[in-house]
Chains A and B, each alone.
Chain A
Amino acid sequence: MSEQPRKFDPSKATSFFTGRGHPGWLGLKYSDHGDDWVELELPWREDLLGEEGQRVLASGPILSLMDMASGMAIWRAMDEFSAIATLDLRVDYVRPAREGASVFGRSQCYRLTRSAAFVRGLAHDGDAGDPVAHIQAVFMKIASTARL
């Protein structure tokens, strides 16, 4: 935690974003955060499975989890909430998530410019040292002057 109190506190703000809409439907929850990163939890759900007959979480919810965690990491790094839009998001699914386990999405905003925000992150199912996915993404700030 930083020494000075900051305006955008993910532990308090998460419920505002996850109380409704797509994040609400997924049941995303706050898990942890640092100065420039946020981790959210996606609880296990039977109706989010991928391949029929396989007890494996679909990849779509992981993409949503990482998109949301990335947005929150950017607001944390900017220390304010402002409108942003995903420009490009890449997900590498390195292994299936374990059956019945929550998946945690941790994303870090490693570079902020006037127009863009660059993030990278991972998804894991309990051990961040053994991820299920890696991501990299770029977001654009909306309605800001287009200068890098």
Chain B
Amino acid sequence: MADIPEIEALTPYARSLGITLDSWEDGTPILSVPFDEIVEGRPDHYHGGATGGLLETAGYAVLRAELARQDRAAMLKPINITVQYLAAGKSRTSYAMGRITKLGRRSANITVEAWQDERSRPIATAVMNVLMAEPTG
């Protein structure tokens, strides 16, 4: 199982926001972010942007893990993301895990779910398309 070091799975933005690699499940990284003032929107709730950032980061992480497993080098560039907000994110840790729906040569389609207490009750989901560009070195 080609687990990748945390430092490569997370962008400077993600580390700034407090996102960490929580665990691995069948080769897929589960990310988490603790509730803190920097993710807060209305009092005691996650800001929609912070939840979106967690989802997006989990999407990139599952893609990086799969590319590393296939020994593929690529620069990831966002094409788009659509986030569905299903329930308010309360003042506790949030988790997110992505799934690659389609991995092509140039782009990947990824779905992501975020949850808090119960994985079966997601607080938000996302679908994203990511461009995999040739590394420019």
Contact = CB atoms under 8 A, between A and B. Distances in A.
A22 B13 contact: no
Contact of B83 (A20, A51, A57, A89): A89
Interface stretch (A31-39, A91-99, A119-127): A91-99
B62 to A, nearest CB: 16
A86 interface: yes
Interface in B43-99: 46-50, 52-53, 56-57, 75-85, 88
A102 interface: no
A60 B126 CA distance: 13
A115 interface: no
Interface string B1-28: 0000000100111111100000000000
B37 A20 contact: yes
B38 A88 contact: no
A63 B13 CA distance: 13
Interface residues of B, number: 35
A49 interface: yes
B49 A22 contact: yes
Contact of B11 (A20, A24, A49, A67): A49
Nearest to A70: B48
A48 B16 CA distance: 7
A114 interface: no
A50 interface: yes
Contacts of A3: none
A65 B50 CA distance: 10
Contacts of A58: 11-14, 53
B50 A64 contact: yes
Interface of B: 8, 11-17, 37-42, 46-50, 52-53, 56-57, 75-85, 88
Q: What are the 8 tightest A-B residue pairs by CB atom distance, in nearest-first order? A: A64-B49, A60-B53, A58-B13, A22-B47, A21-B40, A25-B38, A86-B48, A59-B78
